[in-house]
């Protein structure tokens, strides 16, 4: 057990990257070299420790972020291995929210790919310090220097190599350390035996060039190094290392390392870099939140003597212990068997036991301390994004943003017994995955499930069958269209009902206008003089939100509108919350009709990687899908096509692309924006 006060020797890191860059393989090697596992698992063989789900082992991809802890040279490293596929980007989002730092992995051949840019933006949003690891240096076509240039130019990062590869492609056999100016050569296949030695003479000019670039980049972020650099004074390895650490923690500089994880080369120096350059919980700013009753901003320091506070970032169902609730402790300590206060929901719950996770295996611990990551058993009502804390010192920490689903399908159980099992399964999946949504369609009586892509829903349907034995009819995936209005509109709505005795009366005047892309539905009251009593304003808002779930064009949810309540009237006896809720709902529907409501469809950003000989066919097919090509670039001997296209046209694209290119092209796709559906397409939809 790590000394509970030794936070300086703790690192909380996430492994993030584009799909197939080698995240899980790199994590697997880290566990092997730190003695956490004694046998090397392989992703392709389905034996990787961190890919423990059956679907992960079969598909050879990571689907859910897996947590583990290892020890390297007296440092405790908590690792979250995250998925690279865009359908599971929510796993990256919630991991980055609670981590202190990240290791971004790039393929030495593919370089900066579309999902690399996405995870980089996510890390920027959460201000996460990071280091880069350029992997697969042993692969044919790998080019370390090209990828370094892409990181600087395409990601806009002040980044520089602290290592250079020794040898290229199949001759890659080690690394050159630009800080200590020595060469590390690997002597065996498992990467356990390596020796440090002198840099070969033929590498000297390249080494000098890139060491100069390293010092130049660090000088941009560190005044002391800048002063020495300007005056051409010698900079010692210790001074350079200290400056790199300081600049990396401030997110002003990003060190770049290299290796070939599958061939067991470069992972130990990467572990050294994690310990040397990434921050401990003491070196990141104190977490901020607000006091629930006063909304006053408060902060918590990573100290065991501060009041307890933690953020729930993941829920996982375990067949043996039930629900596992993952949390990051920001301050204080928590003992198993004690009670916590959920300040987000204002409820108390008892922690049955606390466990440290190693993929899907658990180790019970008696207590967890500030800065650590663990999981609790026994929390029934607590959900992802909730804050748990000391009831005497309540705080609500900033929650997480989760993207809206872009695809849905209908699912129908074939028997009443399956109906009960389906309801149980869907509840568990919703608890686990905030980007997965479930609703009941009142018109058809069907259950509608929504997610981030075809693979996302395919995995969930597969898990229903395997884990819950649910037999159901599953519809084809459908696009999650939305509606919005195109012009400003006002609407007056009255709800009057007299049935003898007390009646119902409500009168509202709404002003509705188009709003910013991605803003959803916003509501503001401009009522003056109490023409509508304050206690009825929340009911008006509720009625508007209720009506916005089903638009007037075709019943899809309404988005990107601004609604203002500008006038109205009430009756001192007959007015009620129900009446104002109904009037507001009627008013919004009327405004949407007057404002020429239109249908919006989700557009996807694509990156297609294809051999040059198939370029014409690939672009022709892409254009036929209403795709728009933004750029075509050369990467080695292949072409990289970037563009966007409507999701409705991209179903089955994987099969079509495979057929067009004899299986040699690949693509990645992620949600980009919503855009109005053209008239000729509207006719096909309806």
> Is pLDDT at 167 greater than 80 in this prediction?
yes
Which is nearest to 384 in space by CA: 430, 331, 451? 430
pLDDT for the residue numbered 56 = 52
pLDDT for the residue numbered 166 = 94
Judged by phi (left if over 0) then psi (alpha if -120 to 50, else beta), residue 501 lies in left
- Three-state secondary structure call for residue 62: coil
Which is nearest to 28 in space by CA: 54, 45, 49? 49
Count the Cβ atoms, other than its own, within 10 Å of residue 404: 17
> How far apart, in Å, do the first and last CA atoms of the chain sit?
63
Question: Residues 558-601: pLDDT tens digits?
Answer: 999 999 999 999 988 888 999 999 999 999 999 999 999 999 99
* Range 489-507 average pLDDT: 86
State the DSSP code for 560.
S
Question: Residues 168-177: pLDDT tens digits?
Answer: 898 999 999 9
For residue 504, what is the enclosing H or E element? strand 504-514
pLDDT tier at 231, thresholds 50, 70, 90: confident
For residue 439, what is the enclosing H or E element? strand 437-440
* Range 437-461 average pLDDT: 82
pLDDT for the residue numbered 42 = 54
Q: For residue 624, with 0-12 CB atoms within 10 Å meaning exposed, 13-18 middle and 19 or more buried, which class applies?
A: exposed
> Is pLDDT at 317 greater than 90 in this prediction?
no
Contacts of 149 (CB under 8 A, 6+ apart): none
Question: Residues 322-368: pLDDT tens digits?
Answer: 788 999 999 999 999 999 999 999 999 999 999 988 766 888 999 99
Which regions of 594-627 does DSSP assign to beta strands (E)?
598-611
Torsion angle in degrees (nearest 10) through CA of 92, 94, 99, 105? 0
> Is pLDDT at 371 greater than 60 in this prediction?
yes
pLDDT for the residue numbered 465 = 85
Distance of alpha carbon 351 from alpha carbon 289, whole angstroms:
23
Distance of alpha carbon 230 from alpha carbon 461, whole angstroms:
62
Distance of alpha carbon 224 from alpha carbon 247, whole angstroms:
11
Token reading at 288: 């901020």
Question: Residues 23-50: pLDDT tens digits?
Answer: 888 988 999 999 887 766 555 444 455 5
For residue 634, what is the enclosing H or E element? strand 628-635
Q: What pTM does this model have? A: 0.76
Instruction: Encode 143-208 in three state secondary structure.
Output: CHHHHHHHHHHHCCCCEEECEEEECCHHHCCEEEECCCCEEEEECCCCCCCEEEECCCHHHHHHHH
Distance of alpha carbon 430 from alpha carbon 426, whole angstroms:
6
**Phi, psi angle pair for 637, to nearest 5°:** -105, 20
pLDDT for the residue numbered 63 = 57
pLDDT for the residue numbered 679 = 84
Which is nearest to 588 in space by CA: 534, 615, 552, 624? 552
For residue 548, what is the enclosing H or E element? helix 537-548
pLDDT for the residue numbered 94 = 82
| CA–centroid distance for 4 within its chain | 30
- The mean pLDDT value of the chain amounts to 87
State the DSSP code for 558.
B
Q: 6 versus 488: which is more confidently predicted?
A: 488
Identify whether the C-beta of residue 646 lies closer than 8 Å to the C-beta of residue 602. Answer: yes
Distance of alpha carbon 159 from alpha carbon 171, whole angstroms:
26
Question: In the Cβ-directed half-sphere of 176, how many Cα atoms lie within 13 Å?
Answer: 22
Which is nearest to 168 in space by CA: 129, 150, 142, 203? 142
Task: State the residue for tokens 């899809």.
Answer: 556
DSSP letters for 118-151: HHHHHHHHTT--EEEEEE-TTSTT--HHHHHHHH
Question: In the Cβ-directed half-sphere of 266, how many Cα atoms lie within 13 Å?
Answer: 30
pLDDT tier at 68, thresholds 50, 70, 90: confident
pLDDT tier at 501, thresholds 50, 70, 90: low
DSSP letters for 284-340: SPPEEEE-TTT--EEEE-S-TTSPPEEEEEEEEEETTTEEEEEEEEEESEEETT-EE
Question: Residues 267-281: pLDDT tens digits?
Answer: 999 999 999 999 999
pLDDT for the residue numbered 444 = 65
pLDDT for the residue numbered 45 = 45
Token reading at 487: 């012009």
User: Considering only 64-73, 164-173, 201-210, which range has the smallest mean pLDDT?
Assistant: 64-73
Q: 434 versus 118: which is more confidently predicted?
A: 434
pLDDT tier at 643, thresholds 50, 70, 90: very high
Percent of the chain past pLDDT 70, that is, above it, reads 93
Identify whether the C-beta of residue 301 lies closer than 8 Å to the C-beta of residue 7. Answer: no
Identify whether the C-beta of residue 493 lies closer than 8 Å to the C-beta of residue 565. Answer: no
């Amino acid at each position: 057990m790590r000394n509970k006060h030794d936070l300086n020797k703790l690192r909380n890191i996430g492994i993030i990257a584009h799909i197939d860059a080698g995240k899980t393989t790199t994590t697997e090697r880290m566990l092997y070299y730190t003695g956490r596992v004694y046998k090397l698992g392989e992703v392709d063989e389905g034996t990787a420790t961190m890919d423990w789900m059956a679907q992960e082992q079969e598909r050879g991809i990571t689907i859910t972020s897996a947590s583990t802890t290892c020890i390297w040279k007296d440092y405790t490293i908590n690792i979250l291995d995250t998925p690279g596929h865009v359908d599971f980007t929510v796993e990256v989002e919630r991991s980055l929210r609670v981590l202190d730092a990240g290791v971004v992995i790039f393929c030495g051949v593919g370089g900066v790919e579309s999902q690399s840019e996405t995870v980089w933006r996510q890390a920027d949003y959460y201000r996460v310090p990071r280091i880069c690891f350029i992997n697969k240096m042993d692969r044919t076509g790998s080019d370390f220097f090209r990828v370094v240039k892409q990181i600087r130019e395409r990601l806009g990062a002040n980044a520089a190599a602290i290592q250079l590869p020794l040898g290229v492609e199949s001759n890659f056999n080690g690394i050159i350390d630009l800080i200590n100016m020595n060469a590390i050569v690997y002597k065996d296949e498992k990467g356990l035996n390596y020796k440090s030695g002198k840099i070969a003479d033929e590498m000297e000019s390249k080494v000098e060039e890139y060491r100069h670039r390293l010092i130049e980049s660090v000088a941009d972020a560190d005044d002391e190094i800048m002063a020495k650099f300007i005056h051409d004074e010698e900079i010692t390895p210790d001074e350079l290392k200290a400056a790199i650490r300081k600049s990396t923690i401030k997110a002003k500089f990003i060190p770049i390392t290299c290796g070939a994880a599958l061939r067991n080369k470069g992972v130990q120096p990467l572990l050294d870099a994690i310990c040397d350059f990434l921050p401990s919980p003491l070196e990141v700013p104190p977490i901020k939140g607000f006091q629930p009753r006063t909304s006053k901003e408060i902060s918590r320091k990573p100290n065991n003597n501060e009041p307890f506070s933690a953020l729930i970032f993941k829920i996982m169902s375990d067949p043996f212990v039930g629900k596992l609730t993952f949390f990051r402790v920001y301050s204080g300590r928590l003992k198993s068997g004690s009670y916590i206060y959920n300040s987000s929901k204002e409820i108390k719950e008892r922690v049955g036991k606390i466990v440290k996770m190693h993929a899907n295996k658990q180790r019970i611990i008696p207590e967890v301390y500030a800065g650590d990551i663990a999981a609790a058993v026994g929390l029934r009502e607590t959900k992802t994004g909730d804050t748990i804390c000391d009831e005497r010192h309540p705080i609500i920490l900033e929650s997480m943003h989760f993207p809206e689903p872009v695809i849905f399908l209908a699912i129908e159980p074939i028997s009443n017994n399956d109906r009960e099992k389906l309801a149980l399964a869907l509840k568990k999946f919703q608890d686990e995955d905030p980007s997965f949504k479930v609703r009941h369609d009142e018109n058809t009586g069907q259950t509608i499930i929504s997610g981030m892509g075809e693979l996302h829903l395919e995995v969930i349907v597969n898990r229903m069958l395997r884990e819950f034995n649910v037999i159901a009819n599953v519809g084809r995936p459908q696009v999650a269209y939305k509606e919005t209005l195109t012009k400003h509109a006002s609407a007056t709505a009255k709800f009057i009902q007299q049935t003898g005795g007390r009646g119902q009366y409500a009168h509202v005047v709404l002003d509705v206008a188009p709003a910013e892309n991605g803003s959803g539905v916003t509501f503001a009251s401009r009522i003056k003089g109490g023409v509508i009593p304050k206690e009825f304003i929340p009911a008006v808002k509720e009625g508007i939100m209720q009506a916005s779930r089903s638009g007037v064009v075709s019943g899809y949810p309404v988005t990107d509108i601004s609604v203002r309540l500008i006038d109205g009237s009430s009756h001192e006896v007959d007015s009620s919350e129900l009446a104002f809720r109904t009037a507001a709902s009627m008013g919004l529907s009327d405004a949407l009709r007057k404002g020429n409501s239109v249908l919006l469809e989700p557009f996807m950003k694509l990156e297609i990687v294809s051999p040059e000989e198939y370029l014409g066919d690939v672009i022709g097919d892409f254009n036929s899908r209403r795709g728009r090509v933004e750029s075509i670039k050369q990467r080695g001997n292949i072409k990289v096509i970037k563009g966007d296209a409507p999701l409705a046209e991209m179903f089955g694209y994987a099969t079509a692309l495979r057929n067009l290119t004899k299986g040699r092209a690949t693509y990645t796709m992620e949600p980009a924006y919503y855009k109005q559906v053209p008239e000729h397409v509207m006719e096909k939809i309806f």
